[in-house]
Amino acid sequence: MNRDDPVSDLILDVSGLKCPVPVVRAKKAMDQITHGQVLHVLSDDEVSCSNFPAFVEQKKYKLLKTYEDKGIFHYFILKK
């Protein structure tokens, strides 16, 4: 994690899982948090680069930050 990452309320590591499992697990995790909280998802699935932005847009969440570090993609998703 970077020092300037948003504060996350829940971290979900879906490394090693392939599409569509990371998004399915993220949806379940988003159901566990409340409005205004942030989910931090870690994934090593390259397909997640297109899946997570589409998921966030479809569900009307907000993607606060995304980046890749050493093969791990980080997604910070705000539940509005």
Taking only the tens place, the pLDDT of each residue in 22-55 is 999 999 999 999 999 999 999 999 999 999 999 9
Which structural domains are found in the chain, ordered by start?
10-78 (3.30.110.40)
> Whole-model pTM?
0.94
Q: What phi and psi, each to the nearest 5 degrees, are found at residue 26?
A: -65, -40
* Catalytic annotation, residues: 19
31 Cβ partners below 8 Å, 6+ apart? none
CB of 64 within 8 A of CB of 77? Answer: yes
